Amino acid sequence: MPSLLEKGRLFRELHYGCRAFIIPNPWDVGTARLLVNLGFQALATTSAGYAFSVGKRDGDVERDAITTHISAIAFAVDVPISADLQNGFEHAPEAVAESIRLAAEAGAVGGSIEDATGHADKPIYDKGYAAERIRAATEAARRLPHPFTLTARAENYLYDRSNLKDTIERLQAYQEAGADVLYAPGLRTQEDIRELVRSVDRPVNVLMGIPGLELNLSALSELGVRRVSVGSALSRVALGAFLRAAHEMQSSGTFKFADQAISYAELNGLFGAEDRR
C-alpha cells in the first residue's frame, strides 16, 4: 500500500497531465475496489451516493459518519482518494479547516469544499465569506504532513443560479484563496466549460453524467478540462436498476431483470475470490 505522501504526490501530478483523467465516485468499499480493479488511478467519494446507501437524504449524514466512510474506502484501496466534504459540515472557517484535517487523518489526499449554505432561503454563501472559508481550508491543507489537493466548488448551477459570470468570479476568488482545483458542477454547455477554463489558472474539474451534456473525455481534454467526475451518477444507475427490478417483481411477478445481471462467477472474480458456489 503506497504511503499518503506517495498518494498525495500522485494525485497532484494527475492534474497536470496532457489530458483529462476520470475520477469516478464509488459509494462503498465494494464499488471502490471494483473501480480500482478496472484500472482507475484515483477515486472520489460521493456524499449523495453514500447517504443513499445508508438510507438517508444527501446532506443528512453527520461529519463523523462521513469521516468513517472516507477511512473505510481510503484504506481498502491503493489509489488516491479525494473526499466529498460538502460545505465542510459547518459554516465557520475554522470548522471547515477541521474537516480538512479530519479527512486527511482518515486517509484522503484531496477534498472538496462547496459554497452552498444548506439553507433554502439563502443557498449560497456571500462570495467574500465563501473565499474566507476556502482560505481556511487551504491553510489547514498546507499544514498537513502529506500533499492534499483542495478543490473549491461554486454551486450556483445546482441551485437555479445559472450565472456564469458570478460563477467564474467566485472560482477566481477561491483560486486567490489558495484552492488547487476549481469546480462548478452543473455547467451544461461546451461554451460555458471553455469560458471557465480560460478564466482561471488552476485545473478544472467538470461533472459529467448530466442529461443534455454529451462530451467524451477527448472533447473535454481539448477544452482544457483536467479532471472529470460523475458525482452520484454511478450510485443512481445502480439504484435505478435495483428499483426497476423490484418494480418488475412487485407489479408482474416476473424476474426478467436477472437476465441483465453480471454473473456470480464474474463478479466474484473481480474481487479476487474463487468461485466456491
CA distance 111 to 138: 11
pTM for the whole structure: 0.95
Under CATH, which number does the domain 4-231 receive?
3.20.20.60
With H, G, I as helix, E, B as strand and everything else as coil, classify residue 83.
strand
Predicted local distance difference test score (pLDDT) of residue 275: 45
In the predicted model, residues of the chain with pLDDT beneath 70 are 273-277
Predicted local distance difference test score (pLDDT) of residue 260: 95
CA distance 66 to 76: 16
DSSP secondary structure of 188-252: --HHHHHHHHHH-SS-EEEE---TT----HHHHHHTT--EEE-TTHHHHHHHHHHHHHHHHHHHH
Q: Give the strand order in the sheet containing 204-207.
A: 21-22, 227-229, 204-207, 181-183, 149-153, 110-114, 81-84, 43-44
Chain centre to alpha carbon of residue 82: 7
Predicted local distance difference test score (pLDDT) of residue 272: 79
Cβ atoms of residues 63 and 89 within 8 Å:
yes
Q: Find the helix or strand (DSSP H, E) in which 81 lies.
A: strand 81-84
CA distance 170 to 4: 30
Instruction: Pinpoint the residues of the chain covered by CATH 3.20.20.60.
Output: 4-231
With H, G, I as helix, E, B as strand and everything else as coil, classify residue 106.
coil
Predicted local distance difference test score (pLDDT) of residue 213: 85
Predicted local distance difference test score (pLDDT) of residue 161: 95
What single-letter amino acid sits at 48? A
DSSP secondary structure of 130-183: HHHHHHHHHHHHHTSSS--EEEEE--GGGGT---HHHHHHHHHHHHHTT-SEEE
> How many residues does this entry show for the chain?
277
